[in-house]
Structure 1
Amino acid sequence: MVRADSARNRQSILDAAGTLLASHGDAVGMDEIAATAGVAVGTLYRHFPTKTDLIAAAVAGLTERLVADVRAAADRVDSGADPVAELRGLLEWLIRKPAADKAIKAAAAGLAADALQEMESRGFAELDRITVAAHARGLLRPDITTTDFALIAATAPDDSLPEAARDRWIELALRSVVA
């Protein structure tokens, strides 16, 4: 059984890591994360012996949120919602959540590759439900696959572009896949 204070410390560390990784990427120091979490560095290292462990845990939390969002979109499609509208919503989430971007990029840089693969496999399974439904309704070009959406996601603009440019990117991305 985990003590309540230990569980609180772990969550504080993960919250601080998520915030700092999102804004600074993997360049953020463990000392800074501990200070932001309000714990001693030793406490941080007891929970996460390496920065890789900490980033993997932070990305795992992001994975849960992302998969839940994609699953909810797929459930809405299963209940009759427009698959293209749900894909639009997911693309909007992707480019309007720049805070998650640097944490994902840190994972992609190999610091938490297993966590990133977990995100891809679980997220793809849910996204595939939307893609299949969109194809069944004749809404996507026949050659479009779930993997194509990964490529689209990989080219998503960050928050350095003006909002109007990001909105335009969404429109162009959707035009490239819609029948």
Structure 2
Amino acid sequence: MEAKRAKESLVINTDQVMINDLNNYNTLFGGVLMKKLDNNATISARRHARVKECVTASTDSIDFLHPIHQTDSVCVESFVSYTGNKSMEIFCKVIAEDMITGHRRMAATAFLTFVALDENKKAVKVPAVIPETNEEKFLYQSGEERAKTRRIRREHSSQLTEIIELEKPWEEGADKNVEISKLG
């Protein structure tokens, strides 16, 4: 399987901020931005792996750096920054541009991990990535460390799911130490 250049998976999507995308602070809802990130990253992953289906394995981090306002456009850029055997790390950056002044600022960065699937919904091997720009090289060189962190976090999540309570605290037989407050 031949390695691919990072820029081959580059996806750029620019949108305006609509009033129904705003929270009570008149800034873009974080969840609206998260959806934009996941959509962009999915296309980057599919473009890199050249498969019909890629699934989000994890949203590793989203750092909200500056608020995005209604007067801004929001540009999401994504590309494959690092690969494992069957997983792809997608780096996303969000650039907000004030449409009146033209001032641009980095509004957010994010890392998501995707797995490519075959027609039987089984994970498949993905091509390695070739970084070329300084940005791509920096992300690639630090990618192995982020992959180790993901493995540790996944192990922790696995352990946590073994002890998480599934009973409803208000039902018979639930842990009696849970206090239920009543509105009155």
Q: Give the TM-score category using the shorter length.
A: under 0.3
Higher strand share: 2
Q: TM-score by structure 2 length?
A: 0.26
Q: TM-score by structure 1 length?
A: 0.27
Higher helix share: 1
